[in-house]
């Protein structure tokens, strides 16, 4: 049906969905769909993705009539194609509309003056003829050709993929990856889309089914295997057992099918081929992604190698400890003295303990003695910027870096081009419980021989967000010397935060409540959110937004989740004023004055850094910029693209809070958080508070969390492999690494 755009009703700039009024002379329009009549045609409502809304062109629509319960009969568009009207104004208007980058009104008029009604055909089929127009150079011609071709390819591909909730940025990724073959791949070989970051198997599988792809296609099975292993890694697992993997792949591939078409044999055959291609590794019926197998195996090997390194002993360590105590005006407990001795008697060691147990005090003494008796460079590091800065501030002796920065890991996926060993002779890594398998591998692979490594952390906290359970596995191996600090120093004697943290670790529910540890009982997510909002405003009024942090285990879905809490909390403390600047980025609105958190490592800002948007403005070219101030007095300028890596932080997830401390923590805790009601999550949340915890929610949810021990349940064989390498190296053998078992097919 050929139509002409009349008026815009709704348009979503993020996903391209729009509702608009179109005019057509087509007499087949149903009477109940006609919004107003004219002597030459009728108007109707059309809805769909990326329908051209240009006044300078007609559009050909294909689709079907559907009835909306409120708005009546509408035309649901499945595909659309822009048709430039064969008039002077139509062609000039289209060329200068911005559709073809680099062609403005003046150049459009010049093109029409030369080629008239054939202008678009010339651009499409004989673009070199444009060189005869003054102002169009070879370079300009290439820009016009590229823009014209990209626009056509983008619109065609976007129209085809929009019903599957594919965004414009994802379509751009496809075009960047596959170029002119993009449409052909999307329609005939869609599973290749799984190779592009951001394209999940389930979405691609839906596209493929539209193409009538064979449901037992080996490519489909292969992509599903990758999907299942990726989902497992997101849940912290380094591998799945062969039985579990096959069952999950079977269930996914045959979902909603009356007669299953993919068999165990089909999956086993694909697994065998993937193992031959080294895409997966099979070891003792454990199936790994190849990169995670390498990370686990090599980290085990390297950690044992460093553990067996021999360093010169540190003489007169006891007198050095006494000298450090006098210089720093502190007195160590017997367990703290043991920790210091252990560090200087071994190349690799671990210090663990809960909040306030004196880990920082021990580190101060260790650093004092290291500088006093051991020449060489010292490197302090932590997984997050906040943890690194807190370590530097608390020790008061030197700077600390994030592990990413120290190792040249610019972002979570990107490294500096040149691999370099870390130059220091002494390493302290704080908050090591946050280190995942991949980061541990990068760290140990950059250590030169003969260095001393100290890992400090709280083994009862949440494990890393990424896959693996490195800190706990290092301890469970029994190979690395460990000192446990369990006496609380940080807060005043009788602090309920620390005494309750100890009770929680011991699976006890007789928590003590008072001014510094409060519980306010509510029912359901909505009432809980309302109380959290009231308490937040009350606490912020007595201090500031930096001193009060709301933590929630869930990001979305509930009124007490992070996303909805952020919106309501912002309106309480940073409501939009008459002169407040706002900017919308990927569907989220930011204002000057907003509290934000960085969600991705970059070369300037670390994942987890919190700051405040100090100003929003447009530069001379009309591009939006944000000036964001961080806690260490850094001011960083963000463009709109960089702002995709931040989110509001009046409330954050408990996982995001690791490595941080706040004077006051407000914690919604209800049974609707059932998947997150676990001891280590609850423990991590309350131990983020330095002075006060306020729990809002349901008592039974607290009991369930305390009684649910989820620690040590990730699929990992790191400690097992460490023991294997230790046994091998202790025999003085340089033999082969543990043998892989072949996959049984």
- Express each pLDDT in 52-71 by its tens digit: 887 767 787 888 888 877 77
Mean of pLDDT values over 313-330: 90
pLDDT, tens digit, 9 for 90 and up, residues 597-621: 998 888 788 888 899 999 998 877 6
Residue 740 pLDDT > 50, yes or no? no
Nearest Cα residue to 599 out of 474, 494, 481, 465: 465
Mean of pLDDT values over 90-116: 78
Residue 168 pLDDT > 80, yes or no? no
In order of 141, 145, 182, 265, the CA distances from 148 in angstroms are 11, 5, 16, 48
Residue 737 pLDDT > 50, yes or no? no
Mean of pLDDT values over 272-278: 95
Residue 124 pLDDT > 80, yes or no? no
For residues 348 and 307, what is the distance between their CA atoms, to the nearest angstrom? 5
Nearest Cα residue to 359 out of 272, 429, 445, 256: 429
Q: What pLDDT was estimated at residue 281?
A: 96
Residues contacting residue 222 through CB under 8 Å, at least 6 positions apart: 191, 270, 273, 274
Q: What pLDDT was estimated at residue 13?
A: 67
Mean of pLDDT values over 132-148: 82
Quickly state the pLDDT bin for 638 (edges 50, 70, 90).
very high
Q: What kind and span of H or E run contains 268?
A: helix 264-276
Quickly state the pLDDT bin for 584 (edges 50, 70, 90).
confident
Mean of pLDDT values over 641-653: 92
Q: What pLDDT was estimated at residue 640?
A: 83
DSSP annotation of 739: P
Quickly state the pLDDT bin for 98 (edges 50, 70, 90).
low
Q: What whole-number percentage of the chain has pLDDT above 70?
A: 91
Q: What pLDDT was estimated at residue 739?
A: 38
In terms of average pLDDT, the best of 205-214, 355-364, 658-667 is 658-667
DSSP annotation of 409: B
Quickly state the pLDDT bin for 156 (edges 50, 70, 90).
confident
Name residue 80's beta-bridge partners.
Answer: 61
pLDDT, tens digit, 9 for 90 and up, residues 524-571: 999 999 999 999 999 999 988 899 999 999 888 789 999 999 999 999
For residues 4 and 379, what is the distance between their CA atoms, to the nearest angstrom? 67
Q: What pLDDT was estimated at residue 84?
A: 63
pLDDT, tens digit, 9 for 90 and up, residues 229-270: 999 999 999 999 999 999 999 999 998 888 888 999 999 999
Mean of pLDDT values over 724-739: 67
CA 560 to chain centre: 21
Q: What pLDDT was estimated at residue 494?
A: 63
For residues 309 and 450, what is the distance between their CA atoms, to the nearest angstrom? 6
For residues 495 and 399, what is the distance between their CA atoms, to the nearest angstrom? 31
Both structure tokens of 614: 């100090």
Residue 159 pLDDT > 80, yes or no? no
pLDDT, tens digit, 9 for 90 and up, residues 280-314: 999 989 999 999 999 999 999 999 999 998 887 77
Residue 351 pLDDT > 90, yes or no? yes
């Amino acid at each position: 049906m050929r139509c002409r755009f009349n008026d815009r009703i709704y348009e979503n700039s993020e996903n391209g969905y729009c509702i608009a009024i179109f005019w057509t002379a087509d007499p087949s329009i149903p009477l109940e769909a006609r919004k107003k009549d004219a002597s030459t045609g009728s108007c109707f409502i059309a809805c769909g993705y990326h329908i051209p809304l240009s006044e300078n062109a007609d559009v050909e629509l294909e689709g079907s009539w559907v009835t909306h319960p409120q708005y009546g009969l509408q035309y649901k568009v499945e595909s659309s194609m822009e048709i430039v009207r064969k008039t002077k104004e139509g062609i000039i208007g289209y060329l200068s509309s911005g559709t073809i980058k680099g062609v403005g009104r003046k150049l459009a008029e010049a093109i029409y003056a030369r080629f008239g009604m054939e202008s678009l055909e010339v651009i499409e089929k004989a673009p070199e003829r444009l060189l005869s127009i003054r102002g169009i150079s070879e370079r300009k011609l290439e820009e016009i050709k590229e823009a014209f071709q990209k626009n056509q390819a983008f619109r065609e591909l976007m129209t085809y993929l929009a019903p599957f909730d594919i965004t414009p940025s994802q379509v751009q990724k496809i075009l960047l990856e596959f170029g002119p073959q993009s449409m052909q791949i999307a329609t005939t070989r869609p599973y290749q889309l799984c190779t592009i970051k951001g394209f999940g198997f389930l979405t691609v599988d839906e596209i493929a089914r539209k193409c009538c792809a064979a449901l037992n296609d080996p490519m489909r099975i292969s992509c599903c295997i990758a999907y299942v292993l990726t989902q497992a890694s997101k849940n912290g697992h380094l591998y799945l057992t062969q039985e579990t993997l096959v069952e999950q792949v079977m269930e996914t591939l045959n979902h909603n099918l009356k007669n299953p078409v993919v068999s165990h044999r089909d999956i086993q055959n694909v697994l065998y081929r993937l193992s031959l291609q080294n895409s997966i590794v099979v070891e003792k019926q454990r199936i790994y992604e190849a990169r995670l197998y390498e990370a686990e195996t090599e980290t085990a090997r390297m950690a044992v190698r460093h553990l067996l390194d021999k360093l010169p002993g540190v003489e007169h360590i006891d007198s050095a400890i006494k000298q450090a105590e006098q210089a720093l005006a502190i007195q160590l407990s017997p367990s703290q003295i043991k920790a210091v001795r252990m560090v200087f008697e071994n190349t690799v060691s671990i210090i663990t303990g809960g909040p306030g147990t004196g880990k920082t005090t021990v580190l101060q003494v260790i650093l004092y003695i290291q500088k006093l008796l051991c020449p060489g460079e010292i490197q302090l590091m932590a997984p997050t910027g906040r943890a690194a800065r807190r370590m530097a501030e608390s020790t008061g002796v030197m700077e600390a870096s994030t592990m990413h920065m120290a190792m040249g890991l610019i972002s979570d996926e990107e490294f500096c081009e040149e691999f370099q060993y870390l130059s220091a002779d002494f390493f302290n890594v704080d908050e090591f419980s946050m280190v995942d398998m991949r980061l541990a591998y990068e760290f140990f692979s950059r250590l030169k021989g003969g260095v001393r490594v100290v890992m400090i952390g709280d083994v009862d906290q949440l494990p890393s967000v990424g896959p693996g359970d490195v800190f706990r596995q290092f301890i469970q191996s029994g190979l690395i010397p460990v000192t446990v600090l369990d006496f609380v120093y940080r807060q005043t004697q009788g602090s309920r935060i620390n005494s309750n943290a100890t009770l929680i670790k011991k699976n006890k529910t007789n928590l003590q409540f008072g001014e510094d540890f409060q519980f306010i009982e509510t029912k359901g997510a909505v009432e809980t959110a309302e109380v959290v909002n009231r308490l937040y405003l009350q606490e912020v009024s007595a201090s500031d937004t930096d001193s009060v942090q709301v933590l929630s285990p869930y990001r979305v879905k509930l009124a007490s989740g992070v996303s909805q809490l952020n919106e309501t909390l912002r309106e309480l403390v940073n409501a939009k004023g008459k002169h407040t600047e706002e900017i919308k980025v990927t569907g989220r609105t930011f204002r000057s004055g907003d509290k934000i958190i960085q969600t991705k490592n970059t070369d300037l800002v670390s994942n987890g850094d919190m700051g405040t948007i100090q100003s929003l403005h447009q530069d001379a070219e009309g591009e939006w910029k944000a000036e964001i101030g961080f806690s260490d007095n850094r001011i960083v300028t963000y463009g709109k693209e960089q702002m995709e890596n931040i989110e509001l932080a009046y409330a954050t997830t408990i996982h995001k809070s690791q490595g941080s401390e706040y004077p006051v923590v407000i914690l919604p805790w209800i049974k609707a958080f059932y998947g997150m009601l676990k001891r280590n999550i609850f423990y991590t949340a309350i131990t983020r508070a330095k002075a006060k915890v306020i729990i809002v929610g349901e008592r039974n949810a607290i009991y369930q969390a305390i009684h649910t021990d989820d620690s040590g349940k990730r699929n990992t064989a790191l400690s097992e492999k460490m023991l294997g390498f230790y046994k091998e190296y202790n025999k003085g053998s340089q033999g082969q690494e543990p043998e892989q078992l072949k996959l049984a097919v």
